[in-house]
Structure formats: C-alpha cells, structure tokens
Structure 1
Amino acid sequence: MNKLLEQWGSKFKDARVSSIRGGIWQVESADERFILKRRRNRTKVFDEYELMNWLQQNDLPISQLLYSTEDVPWGGRSGSIYVLYPFLEGMSGTELQNLNIPLAIDIGASLAKLHRAFSQYEAVEKFPSFDIFNEVASFGWPTIHGYVKSPFRSKLQELEQAIGGDFVNNYEMLERQLVHGDFHLGNIVVGDNKLLGILDFDRVRMGVRVFDLCYFTCAVLSHTFKNSLKKDDWLTFTKSFIKGYIKKQSLTKIEAHSYFYVMCLIIIVSAAMNLDAGNTEQADQNISILFWLYDQHDYLQPMLENAILEDIQKQIN
C-alpha cells in the first residue's frame, strides 16, 4: 500500500495505513491524516474532481482529491485506481449522541448551499440520471414482494397502491437537478453544532431535488429507529433540518406534498438493495421503518407537508 501512496509523493513512503472498511483506508503521514479510497472509473474521478473545484469556488466545506505525481487526481495499482484526500477534522455524523435543533438547521442550510452550487454547474451532462420512482417499480417492489411473508403482504400492497395513486403525477412535476446522492450522517463532519464538511461525491447524479433531503431524513431515522426516545426526537430534528434548508433555498408545494412519499421510495430501494446483497438483517430494519412510516402516514405526511409550507410562507412574508 505504501508503494501506491508514493504516487502522491515521497512523504508517504513510511505512512501508517489502517483499514476503515472495505475499499477505504486512513493514512497517517507525520502529523497529517488522509483518506484513501478505491474507485472504478478514471473518467468519473476526473468529472468529480472538476465538480469539487466548482464547489470549492463556492465556499463549500469539502476535501478536494489530491493530484498524484502523474498529474492526475488518482493513483493506480494492479489494475485498480485509488483517490486520496485530506482528512477533515471533526466528528462523523454517525457519532452524534443527540439530535439537536441548531445542528439540524445548519445541516439543512449547508445542503441548500450545496444544491445552489449544483444548480449553477454547467457540465451536468457528465453525470448519470437517476429515477427513484422507476427504480422502485422495476427493482424495489418485485424484490420486497418476493421476500415479505403473510400477513404483511396486504400492508405492502396497500402502500404500493397509495404511492401509485397519490404520488405518481406529482412525481413527474418535481424539481430536478444535480444531487449529492448519498447525503447521510456518515458523509458529513460536524462539530460545535455546525456542519464542518461534506464527503464523497462519487454518487452525484441528476435526480429530483428533494431526494437529498429525504435521503438524509431516512438516514437519521434509521440511525435512531431502535431507540424509542431518540425516535421521538426525529420529527423535531427533521422539521428543523427542513427549516434550515428553506432559509437558504425554497421548496415547492409539490415537493412539500411529495416529501413523505419520496422517503418511502428511498426506504423501499434500500430494503431491496440489502436483500439483493444478502443483508437480510438490515433489510428487515428497512421494512420495519417502511411499515412504521405507513402506519404513521395520516400524521406524518401532513405534518411534514405543513412544516415545509409554513416555512415557505415565512420566507415570502
């Protein structure tokens, strides 16, 4: 691994390398820390590098990929490619012990700033498109229906009908732009109730704008789901997160109405992906969250919608 790292300079010759998880390592060289990640596609890495340059110009808190001695933002070994970037100091969002309102507001505002920068980026054609609704229809529902046993199948069918009936037309009218695609607690760095950094731009794509908000909301719910006390704080945290976003970037009425349903779509795809990977324990939690959301529909859907509409109205006034 050190031979690979020397492609970024001789200072890495004696660097200490420790595995974080599959394909990701922490690198320590003298008093500096870095993250090394395995990647698949050189073209995508270069597109990501150019996008991150744009984000830096717009004062987003990111850690840019480092150029190697070959004057490219990657290194190679045994047919694989790797990227290296400076470690962002702070605490991973996954280490949060409490869901507090000031932090939620700042995360929302930071995501809005990221979305504004994304919307002004010109080279959008370099990134793939992602249609969460089609992904659910072609992959999510078939996979989950093949797994869920009676008596839960009837509830699953009710949810499928509700999403198809209440949401399909609104989905086509949702705002679309570049989105982060993987905005969750593990991809943010926090400290002193502030967002200090945003990580991992390898899943940026064209999609519905509200996807990133709903994805983060789902991730926080999943993080707290087994703790009933923290789960009770989730809605307050979510409303504060949305409030922070709307302070910087307005949402539409259709996005307000669709928020709950996009959350459901994300959970469905997450469950299907976990089932496809053989991770049935995590899939079971995804499905439990999905059914919990459905059971709370009459409360949560209007609550989330009204929270967005109220904040939109405040910004207008």
Structure 2
Amino acid sequence: MINEFICKKKYGEVTSIRKMNGAGPNISWLIATDENKKVILQKNSLPLSHLTLIDEIMGILFEQGIPISPFLNIEAGSNLDCVWIIKTFVDGRNCDLSILNDIKQASNVLKRIHSIPIDNMNNNYYYLSPHDPIHWLVNSEDKINNFFRSIGNDNNYIKLIKYCEESIGNMSLHDYKKLPHSIVHGDFHGGNIIFKKKYLEQIIDFDTLCVSPRIHDLSYSWFLLCRKERGGFNVNVEYSKMFFNNYFKNNQLSILEKKFFKHVLILRLIPTSDYLFQLKKSKPAFFKKYLSWTIRALESVSEFFYSFIN
C-alpha cells in the first residue's frame, strides 16, 4: 500500500521503508526511492481541516524565511479515519543540549517566529493546537473529570490533577487571552530542531502550530532546551540566562507574562484527556511512560527556576 501511494505521488519506486520512532499517536515511515529521494510518510490522527490550517500557517513561516519545509502532500485516508502526509526528510542531527551555540541559534529562530505579525491572521489559527493550555481553561471541571477517566483512576497519576487544579485556580481564561500572542510552534524542543554540522538547518514537526500566547511556546521551549541533559529535568542556569538574554535582547516579559509563566508551562506539560485516549489506543506501551515523564517534569517546575526570569 505504501509503495503504491508513493508511486502515485510520483516520487519513484520505493526501495526501502523504515518505521520511525515517535512519542505521539502518529505513525511515520522513512521512505527511500529509486530516484534517490527520501520522504516521510505520516499517518496523522488530526482532522484534515486542522492540518490544512497548519499547512497555511507553515506557508506563512516559509514566506518569512523561517527554515522549514512545507508539506509535500496532504490528503484524507480512504476510511476518513486519518490523514496521510508526505514530508521532506531532513537529514542532520538534533539540537545538542550541551552545545551553547545550538541553544542560541534555536532561541534566535524562536524569536523570529514570534516576531511575525499576526494582526490580520485567520481567527481559526488561534489556539488550534490540541496541547494549547487554553483547553484546560474552558469547561475546566469537565476537562479534569475526563482526564481522571483517561488515566484509569490510577492513584499514581492523581498528582497531575492537583498540578492542573492549582494552575487553573491561578489563571483565568480572561487572563490567558490578555497575554501577548504570536505564532507558536508549540513543541519547540531539541528533537524538532535539526542541525547540519554547526548550523541550524530546519525546524520540523508542526502538529502543535497555532497562534497563542508566546509564553506558551517560550516556557516550554526553555524548559526542554535548557536542561542539563535529555531525559532529565535539571535546568542549566547558565544556558537559561543566555536563552532569555538572547531572546529578550530588544524587549522583555510583560508583567502578566511573568505572573503566569509557570502556570502556562504546567498546563502545557499536562496532556489533555483526548490526547491520552488516543495515545492509549495507538501506543499503549508508551502511555504510562509518557505520564511518568510528565510527573517528573512537573516536579521540576519550581519557583527556583523562575528566579532569573524575574
């Protein structure tokens, strides 16, 4: 089936297929063809209408010179239960958290993304990401109840609800919408930033692309890029200072952004019930690992890490 699909799109005869590792519910394959091309075929769980909007925002980023590759092809699956996307394969290495210059280049690109004007953008671009913290602030009680059901009433994960309730109690929907907005990548971590040798080559993986408060992106990016090592959550204070000094060379966090920085980050880290139900269905072995990762991340989000922001 994959061979026929790729041939139909005129990428040549398939010479090799390798299933790629991924943390989310999507499934991807790296395809090599006899025309010496490499593409990624992805079975995406988001609706076609959603991915079409993402494709439009990617077009804006591309026009503004952000280093990305727009989708090569996007179409609904035959049973309308998924969307098939063909993407350019970007060869290179991931952002290295131990290399200060990597973090600096990543910070520069993030700043460029956030600097793109949004005044005349389609209202449908706002809060499009399924991971946008705003989803916790609308019908919060129902969202928490659904989350409780999605974790299977497992007491090991009850603390996630406590983190969620605390942040919801400290930040309203009105507060969130008053924060400075921008285009946000939404998942701007080392695995989605590709380098060739010393230089940033491309940003990838845009399932969480939307217009949202910039600290939705900034807090999550900082937390994952300025760790001392992948897999852990000990923040590198030196790299953090550089990250923020570089990002805020000509501006600074607003009073509201400082006030809600932590709560936006917490709500970004906690997965929604919809995402967890999808993950449990598509990758059950990864489900508990993901929740454990989230708990460890939240336990590391403390006031200590925000001292240099203030």
Q: TM-score, normalised by structure 2?
A: 0.74
Q: How far apart are the structure 2 equivalents of 1:164 and 1:120?
A: 27
Between Structure 1 and Structure 2, the one with more helix by share is 1
Aligned to 1:50: 56
Distance 1:102-1:140 versus aligned 2 partners, 3 A rule: farther
What per-residue deviation string (whole Å, max 9, x for no partner) do you get for residues 112-150 of structure 1?
111223x34744223352661551634665546954469
The structure with the larger Rg is: 1
Matched with 1:90 is 92
- 1:69-88 per-residue CA deviation (whole Å, 9 max, x = no partner) reads xxxx3356533542212212
Report the Cα offset of residue 201 of structure 1: 2.4
Aligned identity (percent) is 18
Deviations 1:219-252 (A, max 9, x none): 347894755xxx5453333332223322376532
1:61: how far off?
0.4
Shift of 1:26: 0.7
Q: Which residue of 1 aligns with 2:293?
A: 285
Superposition TM-score, scaled by structure 1 size: 0.73
Q: 1:108 to 1:42 in 2, by over 3 A?
A: same
User: 2:207 maps to what in 1?
Assistant: 202
Name the amino acid aligned to 2:102: L
- Residues 1:59 and 2:54 aligned together: no
Say how many residue pairs are matched. 285
- Give unmatched runs, 5+ long, in structure 1: 67-72, 307-317
Equivalent residue for 2:3?
A: 2
Unaligned runs of 5+ in 2: none
Q: Give the AA of the match of 1:38.
A: K
CA positional deviation for 1:3 = 0.7
Following the alignment from structure 1 to structure 2, what is the Cα–Cα distance between the partners of residues 133 and 266? Answer: 9
Q: Deviations over 1:48-72 (max 9, x none)?
A: 3333222222111001222xxxxxx
**Residue 215 (structure 1) aligned with residue 215 (structure 2):** no
For 1:1-317, what aligned pairs fall within 5 Å after superposition?
Answer: 1-9=2-10, 11-21=11-21, 22-29=26-33, 30-39=35-44, 40-66=46-72, 73-75=73-75, 78-79=78-79, 80-93=82-95, 96=96, 98-117=97-116, 119-120=117-118, 122-129=120-127, 132-135=133-136, 137-138=140-141, 141-142=144-145, 143=147, 146-148=153-155, 163=167, 167-168=171-172, 170-220=175-225, 224=229, 227=232, 231-232=233-234, 234-247=236-249, 250-269=252-271, 274=276, 277=280, 279-293=287-301, 296-297=302-303, 299-303=304-308, 305-306=309-310
- Say if 1:171 and 1:17 are closer, same or farther in 2 by CA, change over 3 A: same
- Asked if the contact 1:187–1:198 (Cα under 8 Å) also holds between the matched residues in 2, the reply is yes
Higher mean C-alpha displacement, 218-227 vs 190-199: 218-227
